[in-house]
Chains A and B, each alone.
Chain A
Amino acid sequence: MLSGWSLIRAWTILVYLFMFLPVAVVVLLSFNASQFGSFPMTGFSFRWFVELWHNDAILRAFRVSFVLGALTAVISTTLGVLASLALIRYDFRGKNLISTALIAPILVPEVVLAVALLLFLRFLAIPKSFPLLLMGHVIFTLPFVVLVVQARLVGIRRDIEEAAMSLGASPRQAFFEVTLPLLAPAIFAGMLFAFTISFDDITGTLFWKPGGVETVPTQIFAMLRNSISPEINALGTVMIVLTVGLPLLGAAVARRLGSRTN
């Protein structure tokens, strides 16, 4: 007899299958030896990964994505930490407005944000360029950093900093000796967030990227328009490993950092 619970269990499994089966198929097919990216598989092979390695366009796209992701992470984290400090530690006029404005990019659909920024640049007659693409990525990764860092900062009691200062540390020394180390797990997490979000973003990037510059997602997109090559499966697998693996690694590191401080 099927009880209510087993129905729910079966349903849950179906939902998960629906979500992850396509991903599994991509990963599976990336190891297919056949010329065509479809079933049945004819053998197990790394040839598509090797081809990736020899594809200059893809390697270039990877380089762009890494540089873009890394710069986005650094800039976004720096700005995010400073903004969080201001929002949590100080009182000033317009604080709520600024806080909302910083978080807003999460709430606005990315297409809207992308078009808006593009139109804005057009309006100012600024040609598209890599720095502007970078700016776009910073705008929509910033909220994630701000949210993560703020959450942690709220938990760092002000009197810990005050204690440091009473013992002779200048406000700057207190920040670097006490606040920053305690904030480290959140900063690290925010950085990873920013990197992964930037790394696998396509919507905004499509609108903002200057001609001739491709990131990995836009490269995949371009390749898909021509044909469905098995190379894409391999590329997909690499992307999955990176975008899933990095945060997992990050969580593990953050836990290690955190376990010492809490």
Chain B
Amino acid sequence: MTEPAVQLDQIAKRFGPFTAVHPTSLDIPAGHFVTLLGPSGCGKTTTLRMIAGLLDPTEGEIRVKGNRVNEVPIHRRNLGLVFQNYALFPHRTVEQNVAFGLKYRNVSKEEAKRRVADALSLVQLPELGHRYPRELSGGQQQRIALARAIVIEPDVLLLDEPLSALDANLREDMRVELKRIQDRLGITTIFVTHDQSEALAMSDQIVVMSAGRVEQVGPPEEVYNTPANEFVARFLGASNIFEGRVADATVDVVALDVPIFGVVPVPAERAQGLSNGEPAKLVVRAEKLKLARPGTDADGAVSVDGVVEAVDYQGQVARYFVRTGESLLQAVNMIDDHPFAEGETASVRLRPRDCAALPGNK
């Protein structure tokens, strides 16, 4: 097995009495796109800044390509850094911006020129070399910032919310673009974001963080489908979570008994090895709860009737809030034909194989 490009070994960061990052270990394999995902204040940016060398970890060790870098100042770490606000040098042209890092690396003039041109064409802005940053749009500026970071052929590319300052449409384009460039260069990338859709769309691995701790590490599908805990379930997309108890656990199926739906047989690989009689939580993604007209065939799904209390119409999809007894269920469904209306009675259905089970409160 090859050595990880970046290793965090029990690193922690405290500011006085406040712990921003609790001791955290993480291996980032070479060439991977790893996302640190979490709400603001979860320690993801602090972690990134420690890797970059902008903050000293209070304890633990950071290794890049196997070498301890704790004592290496930022300008000797050979990292590419891209910021939310681009951080281009306003007094330099685009070309000078991109060439900046090459000045500190023994690169001949011709070579530098060629590499700047290559980087600019890689970000699809080969024509803008003589402009100043202020003459460019936000999206263009961020591409230049990316070109500036990759032209030095860094060991690791660190991206600190690089898409958050862009408009929604542009953000999606840049997402694709960024992923394309990363694939093409095969560069190890650590991406910090609070946006779950960015994380899901781009990452090889997602590291979900909360309150200075890692909650879960895994590929997007795994993190999305089998959240390790309630925080992850709620943070990645809208989830419905029901308290219950394991009624019957076998090798293949863990049957959960939850008050609203009755017994739901969850596949064992989504049930975290829960055993008989344990308190448990049933997690159902909002888009896996399907609303149907009452009386239609449930087709093996578990179903319960409820009253639509609110409809959030979004064009292709609608978000429904459905009242069943004490609970308010959230369902996001594609709209075919007509959306359900407020006050209408609907049959809420779920397929047990779409659910996941978590350990409940003891």
Contact = CB atoms under 8 A, between A and B. Distances in A.
Interface of A: 157, 159-160, 162-171, 173-174, 177-178, 181-182, 260-262
Nearest to B134: A262
B262 interface: no
A182 B91 contact: yes
B43 interface: no
A168 B75 contact: yes
Nearest to B89: A178
Contact of A167 (B54, B83, B91, B148): B148
Interface in B56-109: 73-81, 83, 85, 87-91, 100-101, 103-105
Given A167-B104, A168-B105, A162 B81 contact: yes
Contacts of B79: 166
A163 B54 CA distance: 10
B224 to A, nearest CB: 32
Interface of B: 52-54, 73-81, 83, 85, 87-91, 100-101, 103-105, 132, 134, 145, 148-149, 152, 158
B160 to A, nearest CB: 8
Contacts of B80: 166
A260 B152 contact: no
B81 A261 contact: no
Given A162-B54, A166-B80, A182 B90 contact: yes
A158 B75 CA distance: 15
B83 A159 contact: yes
Contacts of B81: 162-163, 166-167
Contact of B74 (A157, A162, A178, A181): A162
Contacts of B54: 162
A168 to B, nearest CB: 3
B75 A160 contact: no
Contacts of A181: 91
B87 A162 contact: yes
Nearest to B104: A168
A261 B83 contact: no
Contacts of B85: 157, 159
Contact of A169 (B53, B90, B104): B104
A168 B89 contact: no
Contacts of A177: 100
26 contacts: A157-B85, A157-B87, A160-B87, A160-B88, A162-B87, A163-B81, A163-B87, A166-B75, A166-B77, A166-B80, A166-B81, A166-B158, A167-B81, A167-B104, A168-B75, A168-B78, A169-B104, A171-B75, A173-B75, A177-B100, A178-B89, A181-B91, A182-B91, A261-B91, A262-B90, A262-B134
A259 to B, nearest CB: 10
Contacts of A171: 73, 75
B91 A166 contact: no
B89 A160 contact: yes
B52 A166 contact: yes
Contacts of A165: 73-75
Given A260-B132, A262-B134, A163 B83 contact: yes
Contacts of B152: 167-168
Nearest to B90: A261
B100 A167 contact: yes
A170 B90 contact: no
Given A163-B81, A163-B87, 17 more contacts: A160-B88, A160-B90, A162-B87, A163-B88, A163-B145, A166-B53, A166-B149, A167-B149, A168-B76, A168-B105, A168-B152, A169-B100, A171-B75, A181-B91, A182-B90, A261-B90, A262-B134
Nearest to A163: B87
Nearest to A260: B91
A14 to B, nearest CB: 44
Nearest to B82: A163
A166 B89 contact: no
Contacts of B149: 166-167
Contacts of A162: 52, 54, 74, 81, 83, 87
Nearest to B83: A159
Contacts of A178: 89, 91
